[in-house]
Structure 1
Amino acid sequence: MDERDLRQLGLLVRDELVRLPGVSEVELAGSRARELVIEVSPSQLQRYGLTLEEVQQAVRRVAVNQPVGVIQSASERLRLRVPNALQSLRDFSQIPLKNSADGGRLLLSDVATLRDGFSEEPLQAHFNGKPCVVVNVFQNGEENAISVVKQVRAALVTLRQRFPDSVTLDTWRDRSRIIKDRLNTLGKSAWQGGLLVMLLLALFLHPWVALWICVGIPVAFMGAVALMPVLGVTLNLFSVFAFILVLGIVVDDAIVTGENIYSRLKKSANGLTAAVRGTQEVALPVTFGILTTMMAFLPLMMIEGRRGQLYGQMSLVVIPLLLFSLIESKWILPAHLKHLKPRGGSGVLWRGQQFFSHGLERFIRRFYQPFLRVALRWRYTTLALFVGVAILISALVASGSLRFVFFPRVQSETAKASVIMPIGTPFSVTAKHVERLVETAKQLQARHVDPLSGQSVIRHILSIRGATGASRRGQSHLGRVTLELVSPDVRTLDISNLAPIDG
């Protein structure tokens, strides 16, 4: 299949995908731009008494997209243009240049030779060793990336049936996988954290206290999710990470309040009185504890530039979530715990629970309280000890022993190698070096095989000769090879340092 046919198939895919809801832009890359060449004959111009400027004006009158107006909304401004009706080589050849007195017409094809081809700048793309065009799909900022990807994949299944067997359609760098992985991590962390919290509280407190404290987790999460559209926050990597980050903090206030109410219930016969007084006793420290945590995340909203827009979303998730957690621990949790009746038991589970509960109390009486008394008695010594530790840690940072890395290196899903030759390097020389990189990538693909799945950790190899990115304009001195890797969450093979290939 030649370059023209391959580009036509790419345009067909682009036109089908751009109609999907939620898709804002579809870009064709890795293929040279179409170009119509008009070679005007000087002798023919002299024969018919025309100038080159007159030919240019005649072509410009009918072959230029005409602006017709503007559509403006509160968030964007769209310029409307009417494309010219000339699409094929025959259409351009029929452009009239001059009318004669006898009714004849002089056409562009009478004075020029027209050739339909591609731009002269070389540009080639290969996917897994085969010529290709790359179709980049961009979602609308307000749409769900996961649902958009599902629609795109469904459309590709339909398109495959229309293509010949010699043509393959494959997906490349599906960014929605990262969001789905984070959502799965959030789900696992939520139920695992909730289960651990409930088990620990059930060991040292009453099981029903543990249950009602855990109920506060989904309540606070739902409150934060309900406010996300109001605050302009979407479900993305940063907002999902904020949910994961705050999962262990959200129950702190409920644990303190619930434990204090339960202690009151064991000493009081009136559940309402125990709930009210138990909540009031710890209301001030718990409230200020939550407020200080909220204030710690507030500076993220003050970061300027693009990074501030990203990190600020974390604050807009954490702060409302902690606020709902505080409300739940002060109003909803006491209303449930006032009905709780501390009761004894004689079963195995009850004896096991009492063993851990009494064991914690014994540890507090025998070890923690004596240690606390000593620390308070020798308060200046304790203060000096903590100041000394702070100075030691500061010295480690100042001396460079504790390195600072703004973004730590993590295993990625892609690996790139760019070729940048001196400007003016022939395309054949650059293509030769890119081909060497491709051969090296194939050797790495064969060498690095996951022992569990039996599949290579390198899924696809995309090479571009004439550019270092998704460009439609070629430059003979540039090239790039990109490897798509299996997700780090799935692969068991560490490829942070790929072994070099000899030679």
Structure 2
Amino acid sequence: MKGTIDWFARNGVAANLMMVFIVVTGIAATTTVREEIFPEIELDRITIEVPYLGAAPEEVEQAVNIRIEEAIQGTDGIKQIQSTASEGMGTVIVELELGADARKVIDDVKSNVDAITTFPIETEKPIVREMVSRMQVTDIAVSGYVDPFALKAAAVQVRDELTTIPGITQVDVVSAPPYEISVEVSEISLRRHGLTFDQVADAVRRSSLDLPGGSVRTEGGEILLRTIGQAYRGDEYENLVLWTRADGSRLVLGDVATVVDGFAETDQFARFDVTPTMMVSVFRTGEQSALEIAALVHDYIDAAQARLPDGITLTIWQDGAAMLSARLSLMLRTGAGGFVLVFLVLALFLELRLAIWVSLGIPISFLGAMALMPGLDVSINIMSLFAFVTVLGIVVDDAIIVGENIFRHQEDHGDGLRGSIEGAQEIAKPVIFAVLTTVAAFTPLMFVPGMMGKIFRVIPLIVIPCLLFSLVESLGILPAHLSHMKPQGKPSLWRRFQSRFANGLKVFIQKAYRPTLLLGLRWRYLTAAIGVAMLVLTIGMVAGGWTNFRFFPSIEADVMAASVTLPQGTPVGVTSAAVEKLEAGAARLRARLFEETGQDYFRHVAASIGDQPMGSRGGGPMGPMLDLAASNVGEVTIELAPSETRAYNSEQLGLQWREITGPIPEAVDINFNMSIMTP
């Protein structure tokens, strides 16, 4: 190692080329690295869904779920089976063993489920698929007091127009009931015409159909024949012929039945700022950038509003890219702040040029880690930005130590090159081991098993490269730059000003720190005993519950949500009343905060009845875990003003909301979520 330090110190061109290479590759990587909100991971789960319309949860459990569990139990690669029976639907989630071949397990599970012959006749075909984490970027609230058909038509128009924009490939309409054409047959009409219900159903089935009719060869070529009879709208169904008499008279479906062209009867509907709404969700796929997609959506909203009918508005909602952008800005601000602080401290206590070169260790280390991100399959996301902020306070420590020791040697004999080589070589071994011990502390996070390990692996894959590049910079690049420093001649005005701080530090070292250090060394057993006592005290505080433990920290959020779950089978009207109570509590809190601070803390309030969108998304990188749609669930979500403009944090606001809302006696579960990530 000493030879390497000596060679780089004497060959400044090589050191500069290495620095330029790290900086250029890091900057180039920033243009290619993926940008997403949470790291994309494989969930290692399989879902099995069997619709059993009209059945109670107990019937679904006995007739569907238990039979699926018995059929797949013992399949290789399955770690755990989680089963949920709800009204009209049986869902089984299979968690795979670590390292299991997901495709093989899916095939085995599908074969076993398809082999079940004892499902009730009323059940539909089982749906077996791998659970995937869809990366939601933002939602668009399509809202207005208009006809539901017009509202859904606008939502579909927004979806179709967004998918035509280059760079946006996956858009879904959610919180919208599906179209449905219902045929209501009158028993009196059936008797009048001598028909049965089955005859009407068979006639509709036969008539509403497109059929190929073969082909006819002619001198001009081949003509394909096709009958077009498929009905798509209510009036087309009304004109379907049930039978025709010899005299040419016909009986059509509209003569014996009422055809309703509308929506399916569901228990799901949503409000946005108290206005009926349907949501359009935009997702990121592959290597697409969440920030670029969000920018495209914002541009589209600005242009599309004028094309929509009067009374319908488009509003950006749940913009995850804004959260990513805020964390990216935080990292840049923190990095700039760290750079300035390091520069100022070193400039005041050591040397101006030394401060400049040591401070450059921060961007060089960060850009080096950036250069490796594509190769390590790490993206710019919430977790990687958190890792950058974490390592910021560590990454420049070795450069400060090496730079200070080089400065001391140069002060002793006045030779810049000699001082640079001797100072770096003298401190190289402790600096290397200090960095390696920190690397060793973060390395276990790369081997955490399961889904949490896939999330946490991002942290060491950022921290460790930053530390290693800081080591390269401090022992290779920094000595070469500091070797050109020359002894100071006549003290300048800045040097005289700076010497006051430097001399004050030396006085503190000689008068306070050195005597304390000698006392600690003289009474080494007492010093060791004090250290052990502090360790025991710390362990006792943790074991005694004095120090709280949270698997995830409570991270300040600009969104808070309250979900309510009532007993199974609760009518949607009762659920709606519970959701309205949450909305009323939010309205009272909003008014109280405005009266107290003169500021509107709430941007938007969205309510969902029959669904829990925040819960369905799994709270972040886990993705959607369960379809929580049912008549007994609901949710209210509030988008807050930016945290830097508020006097209260999201947790305080959530507690106030809970207190103002009061109890909901009929609810079996009420959950207030005020953090970005929830344990």
- Check whether the contact 1:414–1:484 (CA below 8 A) recurs between aligned residues: yes
Offset, 1:142: 2.3
- Check whether the contact 2:558–2:643 (CA below 8 A) recurs between aligned residues: yes
Q: Does 1:469 align with 2:613?
A: yes
- Check whether the contact 1:7–1:133 (CA below 8 A) recurs between aligned residues: yes
- Check whether the contact 1:58–1:97 (CA below 8 A) recurs between aligned residues: no
Offset, 1:9: 0.9
Q: 1:184 aligns with which of 305, 313, 329?
A: 329
Q: Name the structure 2 match of 1:324.
A: 469
In 2: Cα distance, 1:429 partner to 1:358 partner: 75
Offset, 1:214: 1.0
Q: 1:359 aligns with which of 504, 526, 551?
A: 504
Offset, 1:405: 2.4
Q: Does 1:223 align with 2:368?
A: yes
- Check whether the contact 2:168–2:284 (CA below 8 A) recurs between aligned residues: yes
In 1: Cα distance, 2:486 partner to 2:376 partner: 42
| 1:192-211 correspondence to structure 2 within 5 Å | 192-211=337-356
- Check whether the contact 1:32–1:473 (CA below 8 A) recurs between aligned residues: no
Shift of the 242–277 alpha-carbon distance from structure 1 to 2, 3 Å rule, reads same
Q: Does 1:302 align with 2:447?
A: yes
Offset, 1:370: 2.5
Offset, 1:353: 1.6
Offset, 1:387: 1.3
Cα deviation code 1:109-133 (max 9, x no counterpart): 6886543211122333221121111
In 2: Cα distance, 1:350 partner to 1:269 partner: 17
- Check whether the contact 2:609–2:634 (CA below 8 A) recurs between aligned residues: yes
Q: Name the structure 2 match of 1:485.
A: 640
* Aligned residue identity for 1:489: E
Q: Does 1:170 align with 2:315?
A: yes
SS in 2 for 1:445: helix
SS in 2 for 1:285: helix
Offset, 1:158: 1.5
Q: 1:498 aligns with which of 656, 660, 670?
A: 656
Cα deviation code 1:224-248 (max 9, x no counterpart): 1111111111111111111111112
Offset, 1:284: 1.2
Offset, 1:176: 1.5
> Which has the higher mean CA deviation after the structures are superposed, 393-402 or 236-245?
393-402
Q: 1:460 aligns with which of 604, 620, 642?
A: 604
- Check whether the contact 1:450–1:492 (CA below 8 A) recurs between aligned residues: no
SS in 2 for 1:231: coil
Q: Does 1:14 align with 2:159?
A: yes
- Check whether the contact 1:58–1:95 (CA below 8 A) recurs between aligned residues: no
Q: Name the structure 1 match of 2:359.
A: 214
- Check whether the contact 2:402–2:423 (CA below 8 A) recurs between aligned residues: yes
Cα deviation code 1:417-460 (max 9, x no counterpart): 334333343333333333333233222222112977x4311111
Shift of the 370–12 alpha-carbon distance from structure 1 to 2, 3 Å rule, reads same
Q: 2:529 aligns with which of 360, 365, 384?
A: 384
- Check whether the contact 1:22–1:140 (CA below 8 A) recurs between aligned residues: no
Shift of the 473–101 alpha-carbon distance from structure 1 to 2, 3 Å rule, reads farther
Shift of the 439–502 alpha-carbon distance from structure 1 to 2, 3 Å rule, reads closer
Offset, 1:313: 0.9
Offset, 1:406: 2.3
| 1:225-374 correspondence to structure 2 within 5 Å | 225-374=370-519
In 2: Cα distance, 1:264 partner to 1:3 partner: 80
In 2: Cα distance, 1:50 partner to 1:362 partner: 102
Q: Does 1:4 align with 2:149?
A: yes
* Aligned residue identity for 1:172: W
Q: Name the structure 1 match of 2:572.
A: 427
Offset, 1:223: 1.2
Shift of the 49–197 alpha-carbon distance from structure 1 to 2, 3 Å rule, reads closer
Shift of the 189–410 alpha-carbon distance from structure 1 to 2, 3 Å rule, reads closer
Aligned-residue Cα RMSD (Å) equals 3.3
Q: 2:275 aligns with which of 108, 126, 130?
A: 130
Shift of the 211–395 alpha-carbon distance from structure 1 to 2, 3 Å rule, reads same
In structure 2, stretches of 5+ residues that fail to align are 1-145, 212-228, 617-626, 663-679
Cα deviation code 1:215-269 (max 9, x no counterpart): 2211111111111111111111111111111112111111111122222222345
* Aligned residue identity for 1:389: M
Shift of the 278–237 alpha-carbon distance from structure 1 to 2, 3 Å rule, reads same
- Check whether the contact 2:582–2:661 (CA below 8 A) recurs between aligned residues: no
Q: Name the structure 2 match of 1:68.
A: none
TM-score, reference length from structure 2: 0.64
| 1:405-416 correspondence to structure 2 within 5 Å | 405-416=550-561
In 2: Cα distance, 1:418 partner to 1:287 partner: 51
* Aligned residue identity for 1:498: Q
SS in 2 for 1:401: coil
Shift of the 376–476 alpha-carbon distance from structure 1 to 2, 3 Å rule, reads closer
In 2: Cα distance, 1:501 partner to 1:385 partner: 49
Cα deviation code 1:470-491 (max 9, x no counterpart): 8999744333222221132332
TM-score, reference length from structure 1: 0.85
Offset, 1:152: 0.3
Offset, 1:337: 0.9
* Aligned residue identity for 2:408: S
> Which has the higher mean CA deviation after the structures are superposed, 488-497 or 302-311?
488-497
In 1: Cα distance, 2:539 partner to 2:442 partner: 23
Shift of the 330–100 alpha-carbon distance from structure 1 to 2, 3 Å rule, reads farther
Shift of the 60–381 alpha-carbon distance from structure 1 to 2, 3 Å rule, reads farther
In structure 1, stretches of 5+ residues that fail to align are 64-83
Q: Does 1:116 align with 2:271?
A: no
> Which has the higher mean CA deviation after the structures are superposed, 254-263 or 148-157?
254-263
| 1:23-172 correspondence to structure 2 within 5 Å | 23-39=168-184, 51=199, 54-55=202-203, 58=206, 62=210, 87-90=232-235, 114-172=259-317
User: When you count strand as a share of all residues, which structure comes out higher?
Assistant: 2
> Which has the higher mean CA deviation after the structures are superposed, 303-312 or 95-104?
95-104
In 2: Cα distance, 1:226 partner to 1:100 partner: 80
* Aligned residue identity for 1:378: W
> Which has the higher mean CA deviation after the structures are superposed, 359-368 or 470-479?
470-479
Offset, 1:279: 1.6
Shift of the 102–262 alpha-carbon distance from structure 1 to 2, 3 Å rule, reads farther
Offset, 1:159: 1.2
Offset, 1:401: 2.0
Offset, 1:303: 1.7
Offset, 1:161: 0.7
> Which has the higher mean CA deviation after the structures are superposed, 460-469 or 161-170?
460-469
- Check whether the contact 1:37–1:115 (CA below 8 A) recurs between aligned residues: yes
SS in 2 for 1:120: coil
In 2: Cα distance, 1:232 partner to 1:102 partner: 75
- Check whether the contact 1:250–1:322 (CA below 8 A) recurs between aligned residues: yes
SS in 2 for 1:455: coil
- Check whether the contact 1:45–1:51 (CA below 8 A) recurs between aligned residues: no
* Aligned residue identity for 2:312: V
* Aligned residue identity for 2:502: S
Q: Name the structure 1 match of 2:54.
A: none
Shift of the 473–233 alpha-carbon distance from structure 1 to 2, 3 Å rule, reads closer
Cα deviation code 1:262-306 (max 9, x no counterpart): 222223454333222222111111111111111211111112233
SS in 2 for 1:403: coil
Offset, 1:23: 3.3
- Check whether the contact 2:402–2:474 (CA below 8 A) recurs between aligned residues: yes
* Aligned residue identity for 1:297: F
